[in-house]
């Protein structure tokens, strides 16, 4: 069945040896087309390096139906486990699912067709126009025009609609019947078109000008979660990436955090940060699942978020998040199924609480090492970049003495707060932009300290009773039972003070952490109080790089990307949730690929925003 569906499309000839192939499917359900294309990619020795499948759907597709399809054909069966682990929380909006080590990407877009098409920012190579079982009541000239805006000259479109008005709309919008498709049409009852408008195509889906046709060389400054995830995302697409850090080993900055939380942000109005954090957590969990050892480097334990009055606002009743949440509470969906973000109200504890199933603790340094080991990535330590110079069409990265450290076609500044200095040094080489001045002026550091100790040093009986088996967060956080070289340990954090002020002493910051622990997990605070009082608590501290609106800066440093210098920084307190998303966004924009987010949400991360 799959071959009969795909053969007439001539995919294997069309995508042979291409760096990337982008497919847009206007109707995901029931998923057979996606599974068939994925399988065709797997078995094709000349497959494109990266396959994107962007599928629209009015509702979250049913996993069980999809698995039944996969299991009904032996060659599709191996795809099922990867689907199951990522099939959760498919609320209205875009969801990026990654397969085959990130070389096959499914972007499921849930919602109303026209809005979803308008929120795309790529040109498809192949399109399936499937109006759906009801015959496409949502299809009209406007949806067809929106589809044309997602097409480049030569885009192949397979029309599954028998309605004559669909054909008329396609012709009007610049699609012409494909001669080769006539025989195929007789076999499959699909009509084949090519986007070949008689007029000059004016529109551009990308706000950043031309995509880069062939991957080249890139230098990334900074080997924290931001830099290493960018390097891995680019290397997956065929780039040769050199990652430079002033320290002799990776994860020397805030990403040296011994353990951190990957957990969605929740807000009353489901603000941009909340939506970005869900997209980011999804991608980070997938990276952890693929590259780390569960129980040792990370664990998807779930997280309990205490919603203390005045500190955390519960989701607003009409937000998508709240709707999913009410389905959970009413029993329509179940947190145990792991198919939702799984937030349940837990009354009776003195506070309200949210349970996040899709949440984990994670040791970022382990993940950074794994990213830097990817083929195509090279780490270069003890290399403090003090300047950048353009010479013969390439960027030269120089140390403080003007010695050459590296040379590359493109550069990404992922060195957190220190990026400011390099941007200032680059100033004469970049066209002025008020957004850049504004963002750089607002970038600031927030110092933070974690308090931690070994479980073996607490009374065994008390220890068992007082620490939750999962992280608890809210105003502050506690993560217990984390394996370390010194044995299982607990971590309480984290203070948050501007680095412009003289730093409080470690003892003051321990006291602050204990005070917050008393609010979110009083029984743990009671057991640890004596240890805090006696000073028998360890500290780990560093500085977060924070932006004006608490969202990362991802994008070129000049309006049209003439210079080829990008920024990926300002991860604030959520680098573990936002770094992979930021890296995927950057790499997608470079390659003219579908974005992992709605275009409007992606714009909220633009490095020059607000100018
Ligand atoms: C106490 C504390 C607790 C936290 N808890 C969490 C948490 O639970 N969850 C979460 O998601 N986030 C947490 N964070 C935030 C998280 O650590 C950061 O968001 C993240 O690590 C930032 O990563 P980065 O790569 O942008 O920056 P960094 O990790 O700081 O990396 C920047 C790198 O650039 C290098 N560098 C700087 N200048 C140069 C130069 N000129 N040349 C070469 N190299 C250079 C540095 O050596 C460094 O390695 C916490 C942070 C702190 C401080």
User: What lines the ligand 1 site, CB under 6 Å?
Assistant: 221-227, 244-247, 252-255, 257, 260-261, 384-385, 414-416, 418, 448-450, 493-494, 542, 544-545, 569, 571-577
E strands, 484-576, in order: 489-493, 497-498, 538-546, 553-556, 565-569
Query: For residue 397, is it within any domain?
Result: yes
Residue 223 CA, closest ligand 1 atom number: 49
Residue of the nearest CA to atom 12 in ligand 1? 574
pLDDT band for 522, please (50, 70, 90 cuts): very high
Q: What pLDDT sits at residue 240? A: 98
**How remote is the C-alpha of 173 from its chain's centroid?**
34
The model's pLDDT over 386-420, given as tens digits with 9 standing for 90+, comes to 999 999 999 999 999 999 999 999 999 999 999 99
Residues 12 and 135 grouped into a single domain: yes
pLDDT of residue 144: 95
Distance 509 CA to ligand 1 centre (A): 19
* Residue 348 pLDDT exceeds 60: no
What's the domain count of the chain? 4
Q: Does 259 reside within a domain?
A: no
Residues 106 and 132 in one domain: yes
Please tell me the distance between residue 468's alpha carbon and the centre of ligand 1 in angstroms: 27
Flag the least confident range among 187-196, 365-374, 415-424, 580-589: 187-196
- The protein residue whose alpha carbon is closest to atom 6 in ligand 1 is 260
What pTM does this model have? 0.93
* Whether residue 511 is found in the same domain as residue 400: no
Alpha carbon of 441 to ligand 1 centroid (Å): 19
In a domain, 381, yes or no: yes
Q: How far is the CA of 527 from the centre of ligand 1 (A)?
A: 31
pLDDT above 90 (res 329): no
Between the CA of residue 513 and those of 467, 475, 572, what are the distances in Å? Answer: 16, 10, 19
Q: Which helix (H) or strand (E) holds 291?
A: helix 272-291
In a domain, 280, yes or no: no
User: What's the whole-number mean pLDDT along residues 97-105?
Assistant: 96
Q: With contact defined as beta carbons under 8 Å apart, do 250 and 257 qualify?
A: no
pLDDT bracket for residue 74 (50, 70, 90): confident
Query: What is the rounded CA–CA span in Å between residue 57 and residue 109?
Result: 6
Of 339 and 570, the one with more pLDDT: 570
Nearest by Cα to 606 from 327, 207, 282, 245? 207
- Three-point CA angle 86, 91, 97, nearest 5°: 30
Mutate to test the pocket of ligand 1, among 222, 365, 554 (most ligand atoms within 8 A of CB): 222
119/14 same-domain check: yes
Between CA 182 and CA 89 the distance in angstroms is: 41
Q: What is the pLDDT of residues 449-476, one digit of tens each?
A: 999 999 988 777 777 778 998 999 988 9
Q: Separation of 283 CA from ligand 1 center, angstroms?
A: 19
- The span from the CA of 45 to the CA of 38, in Å, is 13
β-strands 444-454, 489-493: how paired?
A: antiparallel
**Is residue 437 a part of any domain in this protein?**
yes
313 C-alpha to ligand 1 centroid (Å): 27
| Residue 527: CATH number of its domain | 3.30.9.10
Task: Provide the pLDDT confidence category of residue 318 given band limits of 50, 70 and 90.
Answer: very low
Q: Helices 575-591 & 225-236, crossing angle to 10 degrees?
A: 30
Ligand 1 pocket test: pick from 230, 253, 403, 449 the residue with the most ligand atoms within 8 Å of its Cβ.
253
pLDDT tens for 250-259 read 999 999 999 9
H or E segment to which residue 312 belongs: none
Residue 156 sits in the same domain as residue 79: yes
- Residue ending a domain, choose from 340, 362, 384: 362
Probe residue for ligand 1, chosen from 540, 567, 575 as the CB with the greatest number of ligand atoms within 8 Å: 575
β-bridge partners, 356: 303
Q: Is residue 201 part of a domain?
A: no
Q: Whose CA is nearest to atom 15 of ligand 1?
A: 573
How are beta strands 472-474 and 394-398 bridged, if at all? Answer: unpaired
Pairwise pLDDT comparison (289 vs 306), residue with the higher score: 289
**Is the residue at 69 inside a domain?**
yes
Ligand 1 atom, smallest distance to 422 CA: 41
Is 202 among the domain residues?
Answer: no
Cβ-based neighbours of 329, under 8 Å, separated by 6 or more: 344, 345
Residue that the structure tokens 């000839």 belong to: 13
Question: What 3-state class would DSSP assign to 307?
Answer: strand
170-189 pLDDT, tens digit per residue, is 999 999 998 665 545 555 56
Give the pLDDT of residue 113.
Answer: 94
Q: Which residue's CA is minimally distant from atom 3 of ligand 1?
A: 494
For residues 483 and 377, what is the distance between their CA atoms, to the nearest angstrom? 28
Task: Fill in the DSSP letter of residue 78.
Answer: G
Clarify whether residues 87 and 181 are in a common domain: yes
Separation in Å, CA 142 to CA 115, 117, 193: 11, 10, 18
The CATH number that applies at residue 387 is: 3.50.50.60
- Show which of 335, 362, 389 is a domain's final residue: 362
CA 449 / ligand 1 centre spacing (Å)? 13
Whether 356 and 386 map to the same domain: the answer is no
Q: Pick the atom of ligand 1 nearest to 386's CA.
A: 41
Buried b (16+ CB within 10 A) or exposed e, 304-329: bbbbbeeebebbeeebbbbebbeebe
Instruction: Tell me the pairing of strands 360-362 and 298-299.
Output: antiparallel
Report DSSP letters for 518-529, one per residue: HHH-HHHHHHHH
Sign for the pseudo-dihedral over CA of 206, 207, 209, 215 = negative
**Arithmetic mean of pLDDT over the chain:** 88
Q: Do 302 and 373 belong together in one domain? A: no
Domain termination site, one of 362, 388, 416 = 362
Q: How far is CA 550 from CA 206, 216, 222, 573, in A?
A: 25, 32, 20, 9
Contact status, residue 44 vs residue 103, Cβ threshold 8 Å:
no
Three-class SS state of 379: strand
Tell whether 98 and 178 lie within a shared domain: yes
Residue 206, pLDDT > 90, answer: no
Please tell me whether residues 504 and 575 are part of one structural domain.
no
- Could you tell me the residue range of the domain that residue 104 belongs to? 2-195
Query: What does the pLDDT average to over 561-573?
Result: 94
Return the CATH number at 168. 3.40.50.150
Question: Do 76 and 9 lie in a common domain?
Answer: yes
- Cα–Cα distance measured from residue 476 to residue 478, given in angstroms and rounded to the nearest whole number: 7
**How many angstroms separate the alpha carbon of residue 37 from the centre of ligand 1?**
39
Residue 307 structure tokens: 């919603």
**Tokens describing residue 13:** 């000839």
For residues 380 and 511, state if they share a domain: no
Q: Which of 416, 474, 568 to mutate for ligand 1's pocket (most ligand atoms within 8 Å of CB)?
A: 416
Instruction: Output the six-digit token pair for 49.
Output: 């390096």
* 33 closest CA partner among 68, 71, 5: 5
Which H/E stretch holds residue 93? strand 93-99
């Amino acid at each position: 069945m799959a071959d009969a569906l795909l053969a007439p499309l001539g995919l294997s000839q069309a995508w042979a040896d291409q760096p990337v192939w982008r497919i847009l499917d206007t109707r995901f359900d029931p998923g057979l087309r996606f599974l068939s294309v994925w399988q065709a990619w797997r078995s094709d020795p000349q497959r494109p390096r990266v396959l994107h499948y962007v599928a629209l759907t009015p509702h979250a597709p049913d996993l069980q139906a999809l698995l039944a399809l996969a299991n009904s054909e032996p060659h599709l069966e191996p795809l099922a486990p990867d689907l199951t682990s990522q099939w959760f929380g498919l609320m209205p909006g875009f969801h990026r699912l990654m397969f085959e080590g990130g070389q096959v990407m499914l972007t499921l877009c849930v919602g109303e067709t026209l809005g979803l098409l308008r929120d795309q920012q790529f040109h498809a190579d192949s399109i399936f126009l499937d109006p759906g079982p009801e015959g496409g009541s949502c299809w009209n000239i406007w949806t067809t025009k929106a589809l044309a805006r997602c097409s480049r000259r030569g885009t192949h479109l397979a029309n599954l609609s028998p309605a004559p008005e669909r054909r008329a709309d396609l012709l009007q919008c610049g699609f012409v019947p494909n001669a080769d498709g006539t025989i195929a049409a007789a076999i499959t009852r699909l009509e084949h078109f090519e986007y070949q408008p008689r007029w000059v195509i004016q529109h551009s889906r990308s706000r950043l000008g031309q995509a880069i046709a062939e991957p080249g060389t890139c230098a990334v400054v900074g080997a924290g979660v931001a830099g290493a995830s960018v390097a891995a995302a680019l290397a997956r697409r065929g780039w040769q990436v050199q990652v430079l850090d002033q320290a002799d080993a990776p994860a020397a900055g805030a990403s040296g955090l011994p353990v951190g939380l990957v957990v969605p942000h929740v807000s009353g109005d489901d603000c941009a940060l909340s939506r970005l954090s869900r997209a980011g957590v999804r991608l980070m969990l997938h990276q952890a699942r693929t590259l780390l050892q569960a129980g040792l480097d990370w664990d998807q334990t779930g997280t309990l978020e205490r919603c203390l009055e005045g500190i955390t606002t519960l989701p607003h009743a009409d937000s998508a998040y709240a709707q999913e949440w009410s389905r959970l509470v009413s029993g329509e969906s179940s947190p145990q199924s792991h198919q939702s973000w799984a937030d349940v109200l837990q009354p009776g504890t003195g506070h309200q609480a949210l349970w996040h199933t899709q949440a984990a603790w994670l040791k970022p340094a382990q993940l950074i090492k794994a990213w830097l080991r990817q083929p195509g990535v090279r780490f270069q330590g003890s290399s403090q970049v003090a300047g950048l110079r353009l010479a013969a069409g390439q960027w030269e990265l120089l140390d403080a003495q003007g010695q050459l450290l590296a040379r590359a076609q493109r550069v990404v500044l992922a060195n957190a707060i220190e990026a400011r200095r390099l941007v200032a040094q680059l100033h004469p080489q970049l066209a002025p932009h008020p957004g850049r001045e504004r963002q750089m002026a607002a970038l600031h550091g927030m110092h933070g300290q974690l308090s931690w100790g070994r479980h073996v040093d607490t009374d065994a009986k008390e220890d068992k009773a007082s620490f939750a088996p999962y992280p608890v967060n809210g105003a502050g956080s506690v993560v217990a039972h984390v394996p370390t070289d010194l044995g299982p340990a607990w971590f309480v954090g984290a203070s948050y003070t501007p680095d412009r002020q003289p730093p409080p002493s470690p003892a003051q910051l321990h006291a602050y952490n204990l005070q917050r622990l008393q609010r979110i997990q009083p029984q743990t605070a009671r057991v640890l109080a004596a240890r805090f009082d006696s000073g028998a608590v360890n500290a780990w501290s560093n500085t977060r790089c924070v932006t004006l609106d608490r969202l990362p800066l991802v994008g070129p440093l000049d309006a049209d990307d003439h210079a080829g210098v990008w920024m990926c920084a300002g991860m604030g307190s959520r680098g573990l949730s936002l770094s992979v998303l930021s890296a995927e966004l950057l790499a997608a924009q470079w390659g003219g690929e579908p974005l992992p987010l709605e275009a409007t949400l992606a714009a909220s991360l633009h490095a020059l925003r607000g100018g």
